Chains A and B, each alone.
Chain A
Amino acid sequence: MNAFLSMVRANLKMTVRNRTGLFWLLLFPAAFIVIFGSLVGGGSKLHASVGVVNGEATPVAGQMTSAMKNSKFFEVQGGTRGAELAKLREGKVDAVVVFPQGAQSGRPLRVNSYVDKSNPSTSQGVSATIAQIGQRVNEQAASGPAESQIVAISTRGVQSGHLSYIDFLVPGILAMSIMQSSIGSIANSFVVLRERGVLRRIRVTPFPLTSFIAARITSQFVVALCQAAILLGLAALLFHVGVVGSLLGVAVFVLLGCLAFLTIGFLVAGVSGKQESASALAQLISFPMLFFSGSFFPLNQAPTWLQELSKVLPLTYLANGLRQVMVYGAPFVGLWTDVLALAVSVVVGFVLAARFFRWEPKAS
């Protein structure tokens, strides 16, 4: 088998068999999501408030409005189109249903529903329920002699500033777990391998040490993607937090973040002589980042100095990038500041790591 793939496979085996490592890699962030998720409640509500516009304008509209009022899921209120949409943007209602002012005979009634994009689970529930009501109206009509389709519903997402805490938290936890596993795995294991002479043993084989490092990076990529899949799967399953944007965008941020923190891990390994000091230094770097990067709580209310500090932390950009893609469904091209910041972090980290890198234990 190819030496490189063989090394990657061995790395992955070792990762899976390292119980302590696995705890920090998966169990800890998973527990974090479950505990915080349960405390703050899931993003999906049992009730959704709907602003209905022109609810009584036509008989069909009246029929649908009363169906919504009868549904236990909806809390219906009425108002003008502008006012209701403004409420949606402020996060005060979960959806707005707009009926036309009059009906054109022979044509289906065009109903526009607007849902809050930033709360995907609720908006999915809302659109599904409204569609169901529309379908029931159509089915009743189909059994009669009249035109088969009387209602056509189109749904649009509206971006609101409103965001539930769990939606905010999940990308933060994912960013945290990628940071922990990337810095931690390299900082600890590399020092151990170097100090115990395993790197020297690799050095006497024809396998280049640069390939050894490349294999470590590759296996860490696989680990990070698995972390993302498992944590996001868990969040979707338990709290209905989905990924609004593209999964590819999530993957790009995961890998970029992984690379940025790997270089920090190599830097830590380079400057540390013992596993204990590497471990302590890794904690020293990652813990402040956890709290000052806005991974766990938004920083818009935080003091200015904290906001400024967060701007030099790579985790800020990873958490923000992931959040933008996952929660707001932001297109990838719009996130170039986050991408650029992470890329700069990779380059700076690489230069520093290369400067302090060593294959051999410090001469005793």
Chain B
Amino acid sequence: MDPIPKIGIGESSQTSEEVVIRVKGLRKSYGKVVAVDGLDLSVNRGEVFAILGPNGAGKTTTLEMVEGLRKPDAGEIEVAGYDAVREGEDLKRIIGVQLQSTALFDHLSVEETLRLFADLYGADGSPARIRELLEMGSLTEKARSRVDQLSGGQQHRLSLILALVNGPQVVFLDEPTTGLDPQSRRNVWDLVREIRGEDKTVVLTTHYMEEAEELCDRVAIMDHGRIIVCDTPLALIRSLNMDATVLGSVEGGPAGHLDADLDLLPGVTNEERDGKNLRLRTEDVQATVTGLMGLATKRGLHLGNLSVQNANLEDVFISYTGRGLRE
């Protein structure tokens, strides 16, 4: 197959990497609704790549076309050397998929489900391999439990290790933590990191910015069927050139004493005080913090709960789309 020329946004920072997924000019509409509108994407081998966007942005449709589950109206998709549109059947063998719906056969046990799917893939379903997968998903104790008796988090982990049953090169996870409590979410994150450690490429969709920030090497922000911007989380946040916020509270004296001097502190662009709590926007965190400490010492005040808050992906999303992720 002819190599598709490199495409995609934000690739400049990663050009030395081997590209495992290339998507070019992808389009899909349902009737008059355009779900995916000329999408370009490239994912490097071994990275955890997130498609971040609000519900209805076209994340799932994009993922399902890349997995070969849906036919695009237009565009090219290459995954690990396979054409996802024409070679979907071959592609199935080397990718692992977790769908948004994690439902499985209720009346089978965890162990039986894993063995069945290993057989469906023609993959290794030996007791040793099943044990290994169970351990990975922290489901060893649940091996003989029936699927319908698992908690939401356990079902998610099962559907995740099920995506690994065939030893895939690329793993696709469609909203792997949606609807999970914080603890279960962290467990899933640990599992994703473990998969990444096995030198597999992971592509996931999410509408949680903290998930993308915590877990992913690169993030593509998607809205209205298009990728708006794609880079590492840190680069995206830095690109905003957004001020940090210094937070603190004034103890041991009236906070009003500071008011007149706050906006004279170096770097401060904006200041707010609510009772004894301070919020200082700054373009120079170090200078502002040093100045604030000096001022407090001079006035005999004690500063509590001092912290610095940086911009996050939510801010990135808002700045690019003009609205919040969960609006």
Contact = CB atoms under 8 A, between A and B. Distances in A.
Contact of A197 (B101, B107, B125, B166): B101
B99 A6 contact: no
A128 interface: no
Given A13-B107, A198-B105, A205 B121 contact: yes
Given A6-B119, A10-B116, A193-B105, 7 more contacts: A2-B119, A3-B122, A14-B106, A197-B101, A198-B104, A204-B97, A205-B117
Interface in B95-111: 97, 99-101, 103-108
B120 A207 contact: yes
Contacts of A7: 116, 119-120
Contacts of A205: 92, 117, 120-121, 166
Q: Which 7 pairs between the two chains have the least Cβ-Cβ distance?
A: A197-B101, A6-B119, A196-B103, A207-B120, A14-B107, A17-B107, A204-B97
Interface of A is mostly: helix
A39 interface: no
Contacts of B120: 3, 6-7, 202, 205-207
A17 B144 CA distance: 14
Given A1-B125, A206-B93, A196 B101 contact: yes
Contacts of B108: 10, 13-14
A81 interface: no
A14 B69 contact: no
A223 to B, nearest CB: 14
Contacts of B83: none
A200 interface: yes
Given A204-B67, A204-B69, A363-B30, A13 B121 contact: no
Contacts of A197: 99-101, 103
B207 interface: no
Contacts of B105: 10, 14, 193, 198
B99 A201 contact: yes
Contacts of A6: 115-116, 119-120
B165 to A, nearest CB: 9
A3 B107 contact: no
B112 interface: yes
Contacts, number: 68
Nearest to B115: A6
Interface residues of B, number: 29
Interface residues of A, number: 23
Contacts of B103: 196-198, 201
B198 interface: no
A232 B144 CA distance: 35
A363 B35 CA distance: 14
A216 to B, nearest CB: 12
Given A3-B122, A6-B116, A7-B120, A204 B101 contact: no
B210 interface: no
Contacts of B132: none
B101 A200 contact: yes
B122 A206 contact: yes
B89 interface: yes
A18 B107 contact: yes
Interface in B207-261: none
Interface string B37-67: 0000000000000000000000000000001
Contacts of B117: 205
A107 interface: no
A84 B100 CA distance: 77
A206 B99 contact: no
Interface string A184-210: 000000000100111011111111000
B107 A206 contact: no
A193 B105 CA distance: 8
Contacts of A13: 107-108, 112
Contacts of B69: 200, 203-204
A210 to B, nearest CB: 13
Contacts of B106: 14
Contacts of A202: 120
Nearest to A14: B107
Interface string A125-164: 0000000000000000000000000000000000000000
26 contacts: A1-B119, A3-B120, A3-B122, A6-B116, A6-B120, A10-B105, A10-B116, A14-B107, A193-B105, A197-B101, A198-B103, A198-B105, A200-B99, A200-B101, A201-B97, A201-B99, A202-B120, A204-B69, A204-B92, A204-B99, A205-B117, A205-B120, A206-B89, A206-B93, A206-B121, A207-B120
Nearest to A6: B119
Nearest to B30: A363
A141 B122 CA distance: 74
B254 to A, nearest CB: 59
| Most chain A CB neighbours (cut-off 10 Å) among B101, B104, B119 | B119
A202 to B, nearest CB: 7
Contacts of B166: 205
Contacts of A204: 67, 69, 92, 97, 99
A3 B93 CA distance: 14
